[in-house]
Amino acid sequence: MKNLLKIGTVSWIHFENPKKQELIEISEKYDLHEIIIDDILDYGVQDKIDTYDNHIFMVFHFPKYDEKNKRYISNEFSIILGKNFIITITTEKTNHISKIREEYIEETQDLEYPEKYKISPYYILYKIIDIMYDKSIKLLSKNSKDIIGLEEKIFSNNGLNKKLLEDIMIKRRNIVFLKYIFLPQNELITEIQKTIEKFFDGQLDLYFEDLLYKLDKIENQISSLTKDLSSLNETYNSLMNVKLNSMLGVLTLLTIIIGSMTLIAGIYGMNVSLPFENSKYAFFIIMGLMIAISLMLYLLFKKKGWFE
């Protein structure tokens, strides 16, 4: 699906999961290198920047949450910059491009004489990355709140269960994926900043420094969440071990009690003369003896802290 926006002399063309023929047509119109088309169609290309005579090609990846499978997937952004055009291509459907366009139009129209560098594909590139980073920061803040919720569940009465462990593992997998997404971008942003200086003399340095600051914030958040989840997993395992030991203690006590009862019953089942065997209260005496031994064993194990 193709979408065109024109602001001043700048054209912004956006595609969502385009067909090969659409890419060939746009390539011919803007005289793009043929390798670019191959890279766009080859989904899964790593973050990169390639510089050509009259345009720049770059690939970014941003996370998109798959609600059905409770995991993040990679939305690949392929971006081509020329003197008076920017082409953006995403592999997944996203509403953020529309939001970025609305903000950009509002920003440039609010100014009677907008700065020259703002009516440029390079500033649009900044706006795209900036809004995607803001979205990612909010996303990580939500993950932080989710982890607090998981921690509260762990210490609740019925918190230790398979569902909770599954939630922790899903969260860990997602954070590892986010780390994989953002790890290469620091180097990429720095390289873009240097490359744009060769094509454009506008005042964009401060803007790209701001992107590096936000990226650093994202990386710190991911690092913090990774540590929090590791601690959470260790806490879960420790509490589960305590619970398991308590259950084993109960099972051990039951085994000993049943063994004691079996021993007494076995002794009185022997064909030999035994105390109380001719008494009319023999059954009650034996049962009382079994209960007394069971109670003594229970109190002994409780004193030793088996049930704490």
**pLDDT of 61 higher than 60:** yes
Residue type at 182? F
8 A C-beta contact, residue 100 and residue 123: no
Q: What is the per-residue pLDDT across 185-232, written as a single tens digit (0 to 9) for each?
A: 999 999 998 888 777 776 778 888 999 999 999 999 999 999 999 988
State residue 142's pLDDT score.
92
3-state percent breakdown (helix, strand, coil) of the chain, nearest 5: 65, 15, 20
Residue 51 has which token pair? 């510089």
pLDDT band at 44 (very low <50, low <70, confident <90, very high): confident
pLDDT given for residue 111 in this prediction: 55
pTM attached to this predicted model: 0.78
Nearest CA among 174, 173, 177 for reference residue 142: 174
The CA distance from 178 to 182, in Å, is 6
For residue 72, give the nearest of 58, 92, 88 by alpha carbon. 92
Q: Does the pLDDT value for residue 263 go beyond 80?
A: no
How many CB atoms are located within 10 Å of the residue 166 CB?
Answer: 11
d(CA 242, CA 308) in angstroms, rounded, equals 9
- Residue 282 confidence (pLDDT) above 80: no
- Asked whether residue 182 carries a pLDDT value surpassing 90, the answer given is yes
* Structural domains of the chain sorted by starting position, each given as residue range(s) with its CATH number in brackets: 2-149+157-241 (3.30.460.20), 245-303 (1.20.58)
- Find which of 107-111, 170-174, 255-259 is predicted with most confidence, using mean pLDDT: 170-174
Q: 54-63, 98-107, 109-118, 216-225: which range is least confident on average?
A: 109-118
> What's residue 215's pLDDT?
95
Return d(Cα 118, Cα 10) in angstroms, integer: 10
Q: How confident is the model at residue 138 (pLDDT cuts 50, 70, 90)?
A: very high
